[in-house]
Homo-oligomer: A and B are copies of this chain.
Amino acid sequence: MKALLIVAHGSRREASNDEIRDLTRAVAERAGNSFEQVSCAFLELAEPSIPDGLRQLIQAGITNITVVPYFLSAGRHVAEDIPGEVDLVRGEFPNVAIEVAPYLGAAQAVTDLLIQQANTVSA
């Protein structure tokens, strides 16, 4: 049983957190058979936390989790904070495989997406 956990920073502005929850539903619809479950978690300021998000998946029977950081740059959050939170849960459930994927901004296709966004308004 495989799951995808989208990890965002979290915001004081609840509408931004809801944007992540909407995105998570959209990813779940697109994920097809590759992931049985898709959920989200937040580094700070919103719920669930990363450890709680991971534990909820594990309690639902998931044994293989891929964490994708919804971040644009490789700062401290991506390099240290997210792996640190994941390690907490790895220690609790040594039989569950948890991998951290490259952050969103590392995807080469981001370049095409920027051009695509520009073309929506450029005549």
Contact = CB atoms under 8 A, between A and B. Distances in A.
B11 A114 contact: no
A56 interface: no
Given A100-B121, A101-B121, A101-B122, A115 B75 contact: no
B121 A66 contact: yes
B122 A104 contact: no
Interface residues of A, number: 52
Q: Give the interface SS of chain A, mostly helix, strand, loop or mixed.
A: mixed
A98 B76 CA distance: 34
B115 A106 contact: no
A111 interface: yes
A52 to B, nearest CB: 20
Output the residue of A15, A34, A109 with the most chain B CB within 10 A.
A109
B115 A99 contact: no
Contact of A26 (B31, B72, B99, B111): B111
A88 B59 CA distance: 53
13 contacts: A2-B122, A4-B115, A4-B118, A6-B114, A26-B111, A27-B115, A31-B115, A35-B115, A35-B118, A66-B118, A70-B72, A101-B121, A104-B117
